[in-house]
Amino acid sequence: MKGWLLGYLAFAALSLAFPASVFAQGFQELRFGVYAYRPDSIIQERYQPLADYLSGRIGIPVKLQVLGQEEMSQALASNQLDFFLTNPSQFMVIRSERSLTGVLATLVRKHGEVATASLGGVIFTTPDRDDITGLADIQGTTIASPGRHFLGGFQAQALELKEAGVDVFRDNRIKLVRSHDRVLRAVLTGNAEVGFVRTGILEELIAREPTLADRIRILNRQNLVGFPYVVSTRLYPEWPVAALPHVTSDIVRRVASALFAIEEDYPAALSAGIAGFAPPADYQSVEYVARELRIEPYDQLPTLTWAELIRQYWAWLVAILILVLLLIGAMLWLGRKKRELATEQLRLRRLILSWPQPMLMLADGEFVDGNRAAVELLGFSVPKSLLGKDIAAFSPGLQPDGQVSRQKMQKLLSQVRQGEVAQVEWAFLRSDGSQIWVDMTLAPVHEKGDAQPYVLCSWYNITRRKEAEQRLRLAASVFDNAREAIFITDLRGLVIDVNDAYREITGRARADAIGRLPPLPLEEGIGVFSSARTAGFWSGEFVGKRRDGERFNMALTISGVRDEQGAISHFMGIFSDITRLKAQEKELRTMAHYDALTHLPNRVLFADRMSQVMAQARRQDDLLAVVYIDLDQFKPVNDAYGHKAGDELLVEVANRMRAELREEDTLARLGGDEFAALIVNISDPAVLENLLVRLLHAVSLPVPIAGGVVQVSASIGYTLYPQAQELDGDQLLRQADQAMYQAKQQGRNRYCGFAGAEA
Amino acid sequence: MHRRHFLGASLAAGFAALGLGGCGTARPLRFGIHPWIGYEPIYLAEEFGWLPSAVALEKGSSALDSMELLKSGGIDGAALTLDEAIRVHVAGTRLMVVGVTNVSVGADVLVVRQEIKNLDQLRGRRIGVEMSGVSGTLLLNLLNLAGIPRDEVTLVDLPMDEHVSAWRQGEVDAAACYEPTASVLQSLGGVRLFDSSQLPETIFDVLVVTRQFADLEPDAVRALLEGHFAGLRHLVRNPYDSVYRVATRQGISTAAVRSALASVMLPDLASNQRYLARNGRIERVARDLSEMLAREGMIPRALRVDRFCNSDFLPRSVA
């Protein structure tokens, strides 16, 4: 008590000694603003002692100004205040608007015997509101609060609610009633459901009106040992005292020291209900609340301009830009690649579809895809006809090797599934019923993820080859089995191949035959081939020689074998053994021209010879004679000794006559006992007559026959050629016949010439 | 008897059963904790909901609880003093220091009778100490510093709660202890001859996790540390609130909380980075400490790990 009394005395003394203006470098009075968190009159009453105390301690009158929020702002804006005491939230706003020297001191409040430099918020409702028991229940209620810039009257509670998931700005109606007292009134009268006040208010009000304690209920009550007030939120530092910048540091220092000097028992402290002032607190936690709630001065987020953004993050932006460009580039590149790939795929597909060789894809043994050639090969017009069917569906029941088509294909497919490539000749039945041959290749196409491999199936049409093979087989069979000998030579005529008949006919082994000339007559061999070469073939008959030297007749045809250019590359010869044919032919010819008994030419051959020699005689101007010979007394011999004896006689007579004639002369038997002779080159009639005499003599000699000896004679007539008029053979023979008749007339066994033959 | 026991005795039982069975898909970090001013940030983080579900606190009454649970595999990490951590590690549960909660700067005290004026006069005296606790560490360091061989003093191994009676009966001439025992002894005429503030950066309280868990769920460990630093910020930056909460939890006055806070240094994130660095302070202290404890026969062997601490789990910044 003595301290402040002394202070007052000192102040009084100083006031007397110096005018106010002299104090403190021109400050005639210090204006001390105190924020009216409760009704002005109460604050005025409580803090006037503090103002008085300060006046006394620093020697300058201190004028207390109790101000509302806006009043204080205006007063500060016009520098109407030198110091102020206000709640931390308000202080934050002021500090953000003006440059302050910082906090001089922090208020320490006192309740009963307990002092605290902390404040918090109280959340309360009325006891009848059973539905509001926790923070979450406050959602949607009407809240009464003194104002947003009250730390203990709004912000502390708002933060707790926010952390409990209740956004009071969004979820609640907030009535700002400007003072803590009115908050209580609003809640009690039902104007608001929930009230926000700072710590200490309720205790003060209850002290004045004790029944109040039963009319309110505290929400989210914090159990904080040693804190003198009920509280619903976490705590924050108490009110700060701050000086404005225009106040000199000397004054600030003196005010601060005066504030710190206040003891609990000073009237200024007792009146204001405080324990004094503590060194400035750290108001960061208050700042944090405002920031979290986006309340002034942190209600505006700093706007970031593009320039700032670019300046700060240019490296990132460039990097992102590069990445984006790279990405776009990569996408374009990928897109192009994809298009190229699609084109390529289309091209490949077209290629496969139009590829002339049939190709198909099998899955699980059934066609799933195929090109045009495959469809056409099977005689269909659209691929749909094939899809979903297996290979056996287009095959005959049995393959040419005798296996059942379906079983054979299953075997093949199981082979292919094990990774092998199968190749097989396969017969298909086309839609028109015709059969075709293909050379089929089945290859597995492994795709990842396929349970069973696809099978690529390609066909090569070998029907024509197969047919050619069949023809060849036929030809080979003909070659091998022909009765005719067949040989093939090269252009030089050397044998390349021969068949079995060749070996049989010629008696030469195949090895002997090949590489040698075929059995052609030596003198004709070259001519045969050259005529075969020019005319395409040659055919003829001649005598060949077997290996053992035996001769045989052969009929040979040689043909040129032409190559693709039409030039002859080989010769093929075909011949048969015609020896027997030839013999038969000769026999027949003999039978036609010779007398079977005497083997002399018969009438036909005689006539032929006669015309020949007649022509010769005409050409060479020779003389010839046609002689007609008839045996005398032949019939009695025949009758007496029989025909056999007659025939023997005829043969003997014929031989004798033949022996008398020259080689160039011809003796023929005209029939019965009649003979005729052609005598050529008669140089002298005496020769003829001599010959005729020899003939008569030869005939007249006795002939031993079976059973005896007989003797016959002959009557001979002759005529000469050429004569005066041209004659034919018949006429000549008739002349000779007439002459013979004449000889007969004249007594037989003589000769007689045709009268008038000498011309 | 471990010192942390004193501070938390009143509340411990109530919380002991809590904190198990966290949620989330990953396995939660079961973290053993007991009341001590250095561990308050984690309690605060839990109170304000700054610990995610990946961390489940296993609240015990003393470090002994945490040590036993660590050894039996009942928890995956704990807040312990560095020497306690070394003991558990050497006993077989491989641990890793992932955070430093506080450095003792006066919390551990040597109180002596008035006639002892300096450390040298301790020779031949009887010194009461709980050798298995952090006081043992203080005393061993102190003797080292003073150059007094072990056999020149008589060490009376006393649980902390028997120090006062032993003092009264004159059984000891000095006591290595900590608050509140130290204040009691002072009121009985004792003098603070030495305290941990004279052993700068030697007595640490740390956050440890098993190496197995750290490999398995590194994110849960990071979440724990984020919660710790958020709580630390509140404790340091808003003492106007935190002292009341600490006082409430520990059942002591706000003034006692303030003086407790004064006896420890609470390293922030940057300091943690420094302490936990490769070849940083913790690494060196842990090695020296383990060698000393091994020499004294208090642990079977010294640390044999390449790195006992790991700064990889510290948050990059505190929001």
Whether A511 and A556 map to the same domain: the answer is yes
Identify the active-site residue in A82, A630, A673, A737.
A673
Say which residues have a Cβ less than 8 Å from residue A704's Cβ, sequence separation at least 6.
none
What tokens were used for A678?
A: 């052609």
Which residue of A160, A227, A231, A291 is the best one to mutate when testing the B interface, meaning the one whose CB has the most B CBs within 10 A?
A: A227
Contact residues on chain B for A226, CB-CB shorter than 8 A: 244, 247-248, 253-254
- My answer on whether A569 and A599 are in the same domain is no
On whether the CB atoms of residues B128 and B163 are closer than 8 A, the answer is yes
B132 touches chain A (CB under 8 A): no
**Single-letter amino acid code for the residue at B153:** V
Query: How would CATH label the architecture of B3-103+202-295?
Result: 3-Layer(aba) Sandwich (3.40)
Query: Which residues lie closer than 8 Å to A470 by C-beta, 6 or more apart?
Result: none
A223 and A247 share a domain? no
* SS3 category, A734: helix
Report the alpha-carbon distance of residue A102 to residue A108 in Å, rounded: 18
| Token code pair at residue A741 | 């008749």
Q: Which residues of chain A have pLDDT under 50?
A: 1-3, 9-24, 759
CB B71 within 8 A of CB B240: no
Q: Touching check for B301 and chain A: CB below 8 Å? A: no
| Structural domain range at position A213 | 121-233
Residues A605, A725, single domain; the answer is yes
Nearest-5° angle of CA A618, CA A619, CA A621?
60
pLDDT tens column, A411-448: 888 888 888 888 888 888 888 888 888 899 988 887 77
Query: Which chain A residues are closer than 8 Å to B234 by Cβ?
Result: 285
Which residue is listed with tokens 């503590």? A278
Helix then strand count (H, E) for chain A reads 24, 31
What's the one-letter identity of residue B249?
Answer: R
Closest CB to A226 among B234, B240, B244: B244
Q: Which segments in chain B show pLDDT lower than 70?
A: 1-26, 318-319
Q: Verify that A717 and A600 share a domain, yes or no.
A: yes
Asked if B244's CB is within 8 angstroms of A281's CB, the reply is no
Are A173 and A248 members of one domain? Answer: no
Nearest to A224 among B234, B248, B251 (CB): B248
ipTM: 0.78
**CATH number for A494:** 3.30.450.20
Closest CA relative to residue A70, chosen from A101, A39, A93, A46? A93
pLDDT tens-digit map of A631-642: 988 888 888 888
Q: Could you read off the pLDDT of B43-87 as tens digits, one per residue? A: 999 999 999 888 999 998 888 889 999 999 999 999 999 999 999
Shortest CA gap B182–chain A (Å): 24
Contact residues, chain A, for B237 at CB < 8 Å: 282, 284-285
Chain B positions in Cβ-Cβ contact with residue A234 (cut-off 8 Å): 48, 238, 241, 245
CB-based contact B237 A227, cutoff 8 Å:
no
- The angle formed by the CA atoms of residues A189, A144 and A191, to the nearest 5 degrees, is 30
Query: Do B245 and A284 lie within an 8 Å CB cutoff?
Result: no
* Cα distance between residue A608 and residue A476, in whole Å: 50
| A565 and A598 fall within a common domain | no
Give CA–CA dist A656/A661, Å, rounded: 9
- A647 annotated active-site: no
Shared domain for A609 and A526, answered yes or no, is no
Q: How far is CA A190 from each of CA A126, A129, A141, A143, A144, rounded to the nearest angstrom?
A: 9, 11, 12, 11, 10
Distance of residue A106 Cα from the nearest chain B Cα, in angstroms: 11
Q: Is residue A540 part of a domain?
A: yes
Same domain flag for A726 and A621: yes
Residue A350 is assigned to a structural domain of this protein? no
Residues A611, A563 share a domain: no
Say whether the peptide bond before residue A297 is cis (omega within 30 degrees of 0).
yes
Is residue A341 one of the residues assigned to a domain? Answer: no
Task: Please check whether residue A84 lies inside any domain of the structure.
Answer: yes
Q: What is the CATH number of the domain that holds A206?
A: 3.40.190.10
Partner residues linked to B127 by β-bridges:
B155, B174
**Burial bucket for residue A603 (CB in 10 Å: 0-12, 13-18, 19+):** middle
Instruction: For residues A630 and A638, give the distance between their C-alpha atoms in angstroms, rounded to a whole number.
Output: 15
User: Could you tell me how many CB contacts below 8 A there are between chain A and chain B?
Assistant: 49
pTM > 0.80: yes or no:
no
Helix axes B134-146, B82-90, angle to 10 degrees: 110
A638 and A709 within one domain: yes
Domain membership flag for residue A255: yes
Instruction: State which residue of chain A sits closest to B49, comparing Cα positions.
Output: A163
Residue B127 distance to chain A (closest CA, Å): 37
Upstream peptide bond of A722 is cis (omega within 30 degrees of 0): yes
Q: Do B244 and A117 touch (CB under 8 A)?
A: no
Per-domain residue ranges of chain B: 3-103+202-295, 108-198
CA-based nearest distance A153→chain B, Å: 17
Kindly report the number of other CB atoms within 10 A of residue A34's CB atom: 26
Question: Considering only CB atoms, which residues of chain A are within 8 Å of chain B?
Answer: 117-120, 163, 223-227, 234-238, 281-282, 284-285
> Torsion angle of alpha carbons A47, A53, A117, A295, nearest 10°?
50
Q: Do A285 and B251 touch (CB under 8 A)?
A: no
Outline where DSSP puts E strands in chain B. Answer: 29-33, 55-59, 77-81, 95-104, 108-112, 126-129, 154-157, 174-178, 191-195, 204-210, 264-265
- Identical fold for domains B3-103+202-295 and B108-198, yes or no, is yes
How confident is the model at residue A332, as a pLDDT? Answer: 96
**Contact call for B244 and A285, based on CB within 8 A:** no
Q: Say whether residue B49 is in contact with chain A using an 8 A CB cutoff.
A: yes
CATH top class, domain B108-198:
alpha beta
- Cα–Cα nearest to A240, from A460, A2, A34, A492: A34
Percent residues over pLDDT 70 in chain B: 91
Q: Is residue A492 part of a domain?
A: yes
Chain B residues whose CB is inside 8 A of the A281 CB are: 240
CA dist B227 and B77 (Å) reads: 14
Tokens 């069949």 appear where? A470
Q: For residue A133, how many C-alpha atoms fall within 13 Å in the half-sphere facing its CB?
A: 2
Interchain CB distance below 8 Å, B240 and A284: no
Residue A611 shares a structural domain with residue A728? yes
pLDDT of residue A521: 67
Q: How many CB atoms lie under 10 A from the CB of residue A531?
A: 16
Q: Give chain A's domain count.
A: 5
What is the distance between the alpha carbons of residues A556 and A578, in angstroms, rounded to a whole number? Answer: 10
Per-residue pLDDT, A95: 85
Segment (H or E) for A375: helix A372-377
Is A311 among the domain residues?
A: no
